[in-house]
Amino acid sequence: MDQQLKRVVGTVKCEKGMLKSIEESSLHKIAKPDSIAFYGASSRASTMGSIIMTSLLDSGFKGAIYPVHPTEKTIKGLLVYQNVEELPEVPDLVIIVLPTKIVCSTLEACGKMGIKQAIIISGGFKEVGGDGIKLEKQLISISQTYGIRVLGPNCLGITNTHHHLNSTPFPIEGSPGAIGLVSQSGSFVTQMLNYLSRLELGFSTAFSVGNEADLDMVDCMEYLAACPETKVIALYIEGIKRGEAFIKAAKSISTKKPIVAFYVGGSDSGRKAAFSHTGALSGPDQLYDGMFRQCGVIRAHSITQLFDYCWGLIEMPEPTGNRIVIQTHSGGPGASAADACGRADLDLPTLAEDTLEKLTAFLPQTASAANPVDLTFTRDIKQFLFEIPEVLLQDKNTDILLIYLLLPEETFKSRMMNDGFSEKEAEKKIVEMIDVGAPIFAALKEKYGKPVVGFTYRSLQEKMVHKMINLGIPVYQDPTRAVNAIRGVVDYYELKNGLEKE
């Protein structure tokens, strides 16, 4: 946890082309409110409003929460106000989870009261067509009349893990992280927390933008660009509303902070589903492809790949090139990784003469010092994790180390016991290997300033690998995923450096 927070802290400063400070953003008081009025919670625990109120309370939000309800007296121990005029202060934010037909009148009441920020979770607007379109126009008009900035409608609002704010129906899992998400699907704001926590990743702030009646994806991107806790910006896109503004913002941001986008509107089926989901009008796949490249945005082709790329961009230093050295003790995983590199157009250089000399001390007769470096079999974990990787990272022909990690502690333990160690001694040696060994291995990345990336087919929850992940080594569950993530990182820096020259 601490390690992760450490990695997150103080990374990106505001620079020209971005907001001067996060306070300038219209989203500032939506993402970091001090007080919230809440419509839609009641004593009926099973409504969406009540579920979201529970999330809000469970997230450990530090500010004041004012439930508003015409008949309830208290909800979850909080005093209920019959209407917004009764509140003891003008809250920074109102969250509305009401039936569609009373959303506009409620927003108007809040506007009259002077509330300037709203999250509207209720659906039934533009995305359902017909009268919904009219209702959304009315909503926009109220927002403009009273100067209320609105996130939504038809969204799940925000998960700001650093500020203990969660307006989504699922609880926060895992620790605060460094991925800033802007999503045209609320699901990915709320339903990826479990997935990310298993990788020791997490959101800095995640925005569900819904129908983007007022604040949209571009506003959120600008916020995240200025957000010190955000190291990489992830986008889930069904269709971009303000194309020119998107390009301008993305171009400016991507030279400072990487942006990765998963766009689903490019296929015919995806386009139709997107339209029925948020009423988004999506464009042809190739158009988006070109636009992304033009403004330095890396394109992912699945949610898994979106976060694979984010992980790589958070953890890898800028590579000096695209020459990969693969270290393995198993030929098949090595060859699979090599094949993936070939398909991803990443080079597998021949190692330098002095590297080959240094390696001879470590390699058994059956091993190969070609690239992949295949030890075929090694019992000396220190050689495998420290000495050989160090030799490979020192090689002037290599830019990136990709290493196969197969470290099941149960197997090590039983082998040590076969070697004559008692169970206690074996366990002690394994704890030592993890506590001492993982940091030495993980430190190689900083020592040589080169990306170190792992892959395994085992669970990432196994202790040794999980410790490495915790210390900043991305470990992917297939060499193809690892190689594609490296490709994404190499692409990002190529595009970034190109844009900087423009």
Site for a copy of itself in 171-200 (CB under 8 A): 171, 183-188, 191-192, 194-195, 198
Residues 225 and 18 sit within 8 Å (Cβ to Cβ): yes
Q: Which of 10-18, 141-149, 392-400, 456-464 is the region at the interface with a copy of itself (rule: CB under 8 A)?
A: 456-464
In the complex, the smallest distance separating the C-beta of residue 294 from a copy of itself, rounded to whole angstroms, is 22
In this structure, the strands spanning 35-39 and 117-120 are unpaired
CB nearer to a copy of itself: give 129 or 147.
129
CB nearer to a copy of itself: give 147 or 290.
290
Q: Which of 32-40, 103-111, 137-145, 375-383 is the region at the interface with a copy of itself (rule: CB under 8 A)?
A: 375-383
Question: Where in 67-96 is the site for a copy of itself (CB under 8 A)?
Answer: none
- The contacts of residue 398 (CB under 8 Å, 6+ apart) are 323, 324, 325, 349, 351, 392, 450
The contacts found for 345-351 with CB under 8 angstroms, 24 or more apart, are 345/487, 346/322, 346/483, 346/486, 346/487, 346/490, 347/321, 347/322, 347/323, 348/323, 348/324, 348/372, 349/323, 349/324, 349/325, 349/397, 349/398, 350/397, 351/325, 351/392, 351/395, 351/397, 351/398
Q: Which of 219-227, 291-299, 363-371, 430-438 is the region at the interface with a copy of itself (rule: CB under 8 A)?
A: 363-371
- Map residue 149 onto helix, strand or coil: strand
- Quick one: which of 130, 420, 424, 500 contacts a copy of itself (CB under 8 A)? 420
Phi, psi of 314, deg, nearest 5: -75, -45
- Quick one: which of 145, 147, 457, 498 contacts a copy of itself (CB under 8 A)? 457
Residues 223 and 22 sit within 8 Å (Cβ to Cβ): yes
The alpha carbons of the chain give a radius of gyration, in whole angstroms, of: 25
Contact flag: residue 376 with a copy of itself (CB under 8 A): yes
In the complex, the smallest distance separating the C-beta of residue 76 from a copy of itself, rounded to whole angstroms, is 9
CB nearer to a copy of itself: give 55 or 230.
55
In the complex, the smallest distance separating the C-beta of residue 307 from a copy of itself, rounded to whole angstroms, is 10
Question: Where in 114-143 is the site for a copy of itself (CB under 8 A)?
Answer: 123-124, 127-128
CB nearer to a copy of itself: give 91 or 474.
474
x-or-dash pattern for a copy of itself, window 31-50, by CB under 8 A? --------------xx-x-x
CA-CA distance, 429 to 406, in Å (whole number)? Answer: 17
Phi-psi region of 157 (alpha: psi -120 to 50; beta: other; left: phi over 0): left
Question: Where in 235-294 is the site for a copy of itself (CB under 8 A)?
Answer: 236, 238, 262, 264-274, 276-278
x-or-dash pattern for a copy of itself, window 138-177, by CB under 8 A? ----------------x---------------xx------
CA atoms within 13 A on the CB side of 350: 3
Instruction: Quote the tokens at residue 49.
Output: 């409003």
CA-CA distance, 145 to 296, in Å (whole number)? Answer: 37
Question: Where in 428-447 is the site for a copy of itself (CB under 8 A)?
Answer: none
- Quick one: which of 3, 138, 320, 330 contacts a copy of itself (CB under 8 A)? 330
